Amino acid sequence: MSPDDQRRVLATLTPMAVRHYAQSRGWISVEGVRGRIWLLRHQAHPLRQLVIPMDADDPGFVDAMADVLQRLAELEGRVLEVVLSDLQTPDADVLRVRVVHRDSDAGQLSLTSDVMLRDGARRALLAAACSVIHPVTYHPRMTRSEAESLLAACRAGQTEFGSYVIKVICPLYAVPETLDLYEPFTRRVVRHLMKTTAELVDSIEQTSIETYIDAQKERPRLSANLCEALLRMQTRDDEQPRERDAGHLELLTAWASDPHVPPPTPTQVPSRVVIKAEYLPEIERAASLLRPAAMRTREELFIGTVETLDGTVGADGRRSGDVTFSLLLRDSESIRARATLSSEDYDVALQAHQGGIAYVRLNGVLRRGPRINRITSLRSLELLESAD
Amino acid sequence: MTPQDIEAELSYAYLHAVASHASVACQVASRMHDGLGIDAMLTLRHDFGPPAILTDITLHLQLKATTRTPVHNDGRFSYFLKDAQEYERLRKASSLPPRLLAVLFLPTPQADWLTCAAEQLVLRKCAYWTSLRGAPASKNDSGQTVYLPDTQVLSPDGLRALFERVAHQEELLYVP
C-alpha cells in the first residue's frame, strides 16, 4: 500500500472504532485530559499511551491516526498494513490463513494451491458453523441455513505480505440473532474453529488424537469435516515425499473490537494456531476416526472428469495404471482422487480425457488421504453420454 | 550532494545528536508521515509526575536549515518559510501530536558548518523551534515570514523542557 493510500484509509477511520479497537486490546482510558481527545494507556505498559481525536474533521486527524497506528503496530508486533486493515473492520472477526512453505517464500503460491487454500478456509468455517449448531463427528451435508448465511456474508480481503496470507472477514452480525446465543453466531464459529484446531494440534503434540476424540464423545467439537478442510488448506506436493521441513500453516484471528462482544482471552481461545506439515497424517487419521465406520468401506457412485493419465504399457501392449479423477461430491465439493485402472478401464478413461470435458461415472470406495485421495475396489467405470 | 542537501542532512544530524543526548528517541519520518509534511518524529516515554498526565509523547517536526543570517529583533529570529502550503499545515495543526517547525541557522561560509578535531566535533550555531499553531492565515502565495523565540533553543535541556510542557497539556501556540 502506498503512503497516499495509507493516508486515504486513515482518513476513513472512525474515532470510536479506533478507540474500541484499542480498548479491546488492553488500552484503558486516562481521566483528566483536556480537549476533544481520548487518552488511553496500556495496561501492561503503563507509560505507553494513545491519543485519539474525537472528531474525524479535526485538521490533525490523519496525522494523529498515523501516530496511533504506528504505536498499535509496534506494541502488537504486527506490520502497519495489517493493523490498519483490522481497524477498518471493527465489527468483524478477521481470519487469516498463512502458508509458510518454500513455494510461498516470495509471496506466491501455485494457482491450484491458492484455490485449495481458499476453499479449505471456506470449508473450515462451514464445518465450524455446522458444529456450533449441531455438534456431531461428521456432517453429511454442510447445508445449515445459519452456516450458509455466515459464509454468504464473509468477505475475502486482499492477500497480505508475509509468506502467503489470505484473509477472510467474518462480520459479527452476519446471522440474525435467532439462535438465542449469548454472543453473535460469527464469534461462536470463529472461536470454535480456533479453539478446536488448537486442541487438535495440542493432542497431536501432547497426548493422542484418540484421547482427544474419546474425551469429547458426549458433545463432539472436532468433526471429520473440519479435519478435511484443514488438510485441504495444505500446500500440496502430491506424490512427492514430505521433507522434514515441509513448512506449516497458521490460522490467525484478529477479534472484532465491538465493545458489546469482548474478545476471548488468549488462554480461553488462542488467536494463533500453527499446524506443521508433519501433523497431516495424524489429522487425516483423526478425520478417518471421526467419519462413520460405514463410510470407510462403503461403495459409492461418483461422477467426475479425468485429469491425468499416468499408466504404463504392459506385456500385452496395452496401457494400464494410475489415473487421477476430479470427482464431484454430494455437497458440491470437488476433490481429486487417484485410481489404478485395468487396461479396459484405462481405455474408457483415455476416451474421456480425449473428449475434453467428458464426464465418467464410477463405482468404488473413496479413501481420503493427507496428500492424495484414492478410489479402491473400483467396480465399474463408464463414459457418461454427452448432454447434447 | 548539493549545498541544500548537506544543510538538510546536517539538520537531521543536529536533531539526532540533541535528541539522543536528551534520551529522546528520534526517528526520520516514515514515507507515510513524509507525505504529511513531517520530517522527523521525537518520542519520549517518561512520567513527569502529577499533574502531568501524558507519559508517551511524540512531537512531529518539520526541519529547515538556512545559511541566511536571521534578523534578531525583540527576542526572536525571523525566518521566511517558502512553502505556503507548509505554513498552512503548520498553523492548522492539531494540538496532539504537536507539530513544530525547527530551523537550523548555519554560518554563511560552508567551511564553517562543521569542524572535526581530536578534541571536539563542532557543528556551529544552533536550531530554534516554534509552534505555528493558531498563526494567522498568510496573504502571501510564495511563503510567509515566521518568528522563532530565541529562548526556544533546540538543545537537550530545551527539548526536555518542551516535552514537560506537552506532558502538562500546555497548548503550544504561535507567538507572532
Residue B115 has pLDDT above 80, yes or no: yes
Task: Name which residue leads in pLDDT, B107 or A387.
Answer: B107
Rounded to whole angstroms, the Cα distance separating A63 from B30 reads 12
- In this prediction, residue B13 has a pLDDT band, given cuts at 50, 70 and 90, of very high
Across-strand partners of B57?
B44
Rounded to whole angstroms, the Cα distance separating A295 from A299 reads 8
3-state SS of A18-50? HHHHHHCCCEEECCCCCCCEEEEEECCCCCCEE
Containing H/E element for A197? helix A185-206
- pLDDT, residue A162, reads 66
CB-nearest partner of B94 from A6, A53, A70: A53
Rounded to whole angstroms, the Cα distance separating A30 from A330 reads 57
Task: For residue A35, count other CB atoms closer than 10 A to its CB.
Answer: 14
Q: What is the pTM of this model?
A: 0.71
**Radius of gyration of the CA atoms of chain A, in A:** 25
Residue B33 has pLDDT above 80, yes or no: no
Percent of chain B with pLDDT over 70: 95
Per DSSP, B153 falls in state B
Query: For chain A, which ranges sit under pLDDT 50?
Result: 239-244, 387-388
Q: Give the lowest-confidence range in A219-228, A371-380, B32-41, B114-123.
A: B32-41
- pLDDT, residue A387, reads 47
pLDDT tens sequence across B144-168: 999 999 999 999 999 999 999 999 9
One-character DSSP codes across A310-323: EEEE-TTS-EEEEE
Q: Report the gap between the CA of B171 and the closest CA in chain A (Å).
A: 10
Rounded to whole angstroms, the Cα distance separating B16 from B25 reads 8
A68 and A51 Cβ atoms separated by less than 8 Å: yes
Rounded to whole angstroms, the Cα distance separating A341 from B63 reads 76
Rounded to whole angstroms, the Cα distance separating B77 from B56 reads 31
Determine contact: A80 vs chain B, CB below 8 A.
yes
3-state SS of A247-287? CEEEEEEECCCCCCCCCCCCCCCCCEEEEEHHHHHHHHHHH
- pLDDT, residue A332, reads 61
Cell digits of residue A344: 479396459
Containing H/E element for A147? helix A145-153
Q: Report the gap between the CA of A33 and the closest CA in chain B (Å).
A: 7
Cell digits of residue B67: 545559511
- pLDDT, residue A241, reads 47
What stretches of A207-246 show up as alpha helix (H) in DSSP?
A: 209-215, 224-233
Interchain CB distance below 8 Å, A3 and B92? no
HSE-CB of A315 using CA atoms within 13 angstroms: 0
- pLDDT, residue A294, reads 67
Substitution target from B28, B88, B94 for chain A, most A beta carbons within 10 A: B94
For residue A62, the chain B residues in CB contact (below 8 A) are 36
Q: Report the gap between the CA of B28 and the closest CA in chain A (Å).
A: 14
- In this prediction, residue B70 has a pLDDT band, given cuts at 50, 70 and 90, of confident
